[in-house]
Amino acid sequence: MEIDLSRPILERNDTLAAANRVRLAATGTFALDVLASPGAGKTTTILATLAFLGDRFRVAVIEGDIASRVDAEKVKASGIMAVQINTGGACHLEADMVSRALDALPLEELDLVVLENVGNLVCPIEFDLGQSARIVIASVPEGDDKPLKYPSIFAIADAVLLNKVDAAPVFDFDETAFTQGVRNLNGAAPIFRVSAKTGEGIGEWAEWLAERVKAVRAASL
């Protein structure tokens, strides 16, 4: 006899995620789950994106980290509302954690909530948070083989951002191989070439996001 101990945990998480999704839909709030490995540039990309969007949307960020408030403080320093979740060792956010963070936010006053997940390309895949969309950020210094090594996370992405393209001349990065690796797993997700440092490509990606935020807001009216 085999007992899958993960099933009750995932079933409970899915129930809570569904509740989060209903709650967000009721206020017309778009929730973006941002997935990446440590050092890929999640926080800087989020800040560059929100800076481009300016005051078009009312925004808050939920920061997921194993420990510290470093990223939440960066977000707050930019004038953006932020809630910190410290997982205490867990390598991913869970729906219950997000639910409690949403309790601290005025959802009826927000168009967009960005969920910066814990830096990991494996664990977050199994845990639905109630998000409206998931994106994966990969970066040039990590290498072009990420889709081969971590196929599941690229397969579920609604969009893929290739960050730090300004550093491409310094690294032996085969962009064609990277793109083909993503396409072999996911034929629908757009791939955006961006640099959070220089701003390259941020506008195109931000407009893709803006269209989806507006659609969710319109559907709630």
**What are the average pLDDT values for consecutive 10-residue runs of the chain, which has 221 residues?**
60 96 97 97 98 98 92 95 91 96 97 97 95 98 97 98 96 96 98 98 98 96 82
- What was the pLDDT predicted at 146? 97
Domain CATH code at residue 174: 3.40.50.300
Domain assignment present for residue 1? The answer is no
- What was the pLDDT predicted at 2? 45
Long-range contacts of 43-46 (CB under 8 A, 24+ apart): 43/71, 43/74, 43/75, 43/116, 44/196, 44/197, 45/137, 45/161, 45/163, 45/194, 45/196, 45/202, 46/75, 46/114, 46/116
Domain count, the chain: 1
Q: What residue numbers bound the domain in which 74 lies?
A: 6-220
- What was the pLDDT predicted at 6? 58
Predicted TM-score (pTM) of the model is: 0.94
